[in-house]
Amino acid sequence: MKQRKPIVSLLLAACLLLGLGVTGLAAEPGDPRPVILAVFSGTADAGGLRWDIGGAEEALARAYPGYEIRRAFTSRDVIDAARERDGLEIDDMTEAMERLIADGVRDVIVVPVCVLEDGEYELIRSTAGGYAGAFDSLRIGRGLLGGVFAGEAMAAALSSELRRWAHRDTAIVLAGRGTDHAANAAYTLLQEALTEAGYEKVFVGTMEADPDREAVLALLEQTGVKKVVVLPLLPAADEYVYDEIAGSGENSWKSVLESQGYKVTCVTKGVGGYRGVQALLVSLVEEAELIAVPAEEPEEELAEEPEEEPAEEPEEEPEEEPVEEPEEEPAEEPEEEPAEEPGEEPIAAVGVMASDLVPGRYPLKVYASSSRFLVRDAVLAVTEDGMTALLTLEGHRYGELFPGTAADAERADEEEIISFRWGEDDGMVFVLPVTSLDTELTFAAWNIRRGCWQDQILILSSEMLPEEAFIC
Confidence tier at 148 by pLDDT (50, 70, 90): confident
429 vs 110, which has greater pLDDT? 110
Backbone angles phi, psi at 458, to 5 degrees: -115, 140
- CA count, 13 A, side-chain hemisphere, 441: 23
Of 288-292, 324-328, 391-395, least confident by mean pLDDT is 324-328
The pLDDT value given to residue 62: 92
The pLDDT value given to residue 21: 40
The pLDDT value given to residue 286: 86
Confidence tier at 295 by pLDDT (50, 70, 90): low
437 - beta bridge partners?
Answer: 352
**How does the average pLDDT of the chain come out, rounded?**
82
pLDDT at 205 over 50: yes
pLDDT at 282 over 80: yes
Confidence tier at 163 by pLDDT (50, 70, 90): confident
The pLDDT value given to residue 233: 96
The pLDDT value given to residue 135: 95
The pLDDT value given to residue 378: 93
pLDDT at 29 over 60: no
Closest CA to 430 of 442, 440, 445: 445
pLDDT at 318 over 70: no
Q: Which of 241-245, 325-329, 335-339 has the highest mean pLDDT?
A: 241-245
| 179 residue type, one letter | T
The pLDDT value given to residue 206: 94
Confidence tier at 204 by pLDDT (50, 70, 90): very high
Q: Which residues have CB under 8 Å from 7's CB, separation 6+?
A: none
In this predicted model, what pLDDT tens digit does every residue of 341-351 receive, in sequence order? 443 343 334 58
pLDDT at 334 over 50: no
The pLDDT value given to residue 423: 76
Backbone angles phi, psi at 91, to 5 degrees: -75, 150
In this predicted model, what pLDDT tens digit does every residue of 439-451 receive, in sequence order? 989 999 988 766 7
pLDDT at 210 over 60: yes
In this predicted model, what pLDDT tens digit does every residue of 178-195 receive, in sequence order? 999 999 999 999 999 999
pLDDT at 277 over 70: yes
The pLDDT value given to residue 303: 45
The pLDDT value given to residue 344: 37
Q: Which residues have CB under 8 Å from 131's CB, separation 6+?
A: 97, 100, 101, 138
In this predicted model, what pLDDT tens digit does every residue of 221-248 receive, in sequence order? 999 999 999 999 999 999 899 999 999 9
Confidence tier at 420 by pLDDT (50, 70, 90): confident
Of 5-9, 157-161, 174-178, least confident by mean pLDDT is 5-9
Q: For residues 390-402, give the mean pLDDT.
A: 86
The pLDDT value given to residue 339: 42
Of 7-11, 128-132, 329-333, least confident by mean pLDDT is 7-11
The pLDDT value given to residue 294: 57
The pLDDT value given to residue 12: 35
Confidence tier at 149 by pLDDT (50, 70, 90): confident
Name all contacts of 165-168 with Cβ < 8 Å and 24+ positions apart. 165/229, 165/231, 165/265, 165/267, 166/199, 166/201, 166/202, 167/227
% of the chain beyond a pLDDT of 90: 58
12 vs 465, which has greater pLDDT? 465
Confidence tier at 280 by pLDDT (50, 70, 90): very high
Cα separation, 5 vs 280, in Å, equals 14
Cα separation, 123 vs 114, in Å, equals 12
The pLDDT value given to residue 243: 93
Confidence tier at 311 by pLDDT (50, 70, 90): very low
pLDDT at 312 over 60: no
Cα separation, 213 vs 250, in Å, equals 14
Of 13-17, 122-126, 183-187, 413-417, least confident by mean pLDDT is 13-17
pLDDT at 209 over 70: yes
Of 352-356, 403-407, 424-428, 429-433, least confident by mean pLDDT is 424-428
